[in-house]
Amino acid sequence: MDLIRTLPLKGRVEMDIPMKELTTLRVGGKADCVVFAGSESDVEQLALFCADRDVPLTVVGRGSNLLVRDGGLSGVVLLMGKAFADVRVEKKRVYAQAGATLGAAARAAQQAGLAGLEFAEGIPGSVGGGVRMNAGAYGGEMSGVVERVRVLQKNGEVIWLDKTQMDFGYRHSAVEKSGAVVLEAVFALQPDDREAIAVRMNDYAARRREKQPLTYPSAGSFFKRPEGYFAGKLIEDAGLKGASVGGAQVSEKHAGFLINRGGATFADMAELIRQVQQRVLEETGVTLEPEVKIVK
């Protein structure tokens, strides 16, 4: 990994960083090497470096949809953060780099009088991660506002993918399948009154504060929504609200959230996930599939 320090990177390189410091669940052992991206060139150089040497590369934005094992991550973790977070507005479009927060993109749209991204205001993730998994809330999804996405392919080529090529589905996109790295997204929005947009965003924020366990570390809604059901209701109806294993707990406020009440380990979370899946399957015949990416 010391060879990485020879690359002309604008960002910084650090070794043995605990992943619990880089994820919203606050769980995970040390990463061998973490590179804090300082530019798009950093992303391209690291992708090629890792591909040439068959070194695992894990791209992380806000770490809001990630559960990492206690043993940590081998290879390189590329953090797309503040130095890769430009957001700009041109006419009816918002251009956002992958490291920008979804909230920043939503607020830029609101200030420009552009509607469509309000649902993203409270999603605690990055543009790159949100596009990759087709994040959504309150009836809105990335697929409804993304016009095109610029990505770095595994062969090192940077290309634009339009909405059709992104093959969006429920918590899915072509990027997720191919392993390409999202560099930038373009959102096509519609003009509206800035105050009206702000009212909708404030309403969504109030609903989140009322219904979600925002005071504890979590990864948001942990399980995908089964067709015809709501994961949180299935878990609550199975009598699992408040169930815990070590420091991991099914939130007492919203059963669709698994939270870290303090000191939770990957083993705690994994066992709680297993118990929830098993009980719900026994009670309803429904298999719950994690929405969160689990790195074992």
Annotated catalytic sites, by residue?
171, 221, 291
Give me the amino acid identity at 137: A
Residue with tokens 């942990």: 222
The Cα–Cα gap between 185 and 146 comes to 7
Determine how many CB atoms are found less than 10 A away from the CB of residue 10: 14
- Mind giving me the DSSP string for 85-104? --EEEETTEEEEETTSBHHH
Please state the length of the chain: 296
Which residues are paired to 191 by β-bridges?
114
Of 28, 33, 27, 127, nearest to 78 (Cα)?
33
Chain centroid offset of residue 111 CA:
24
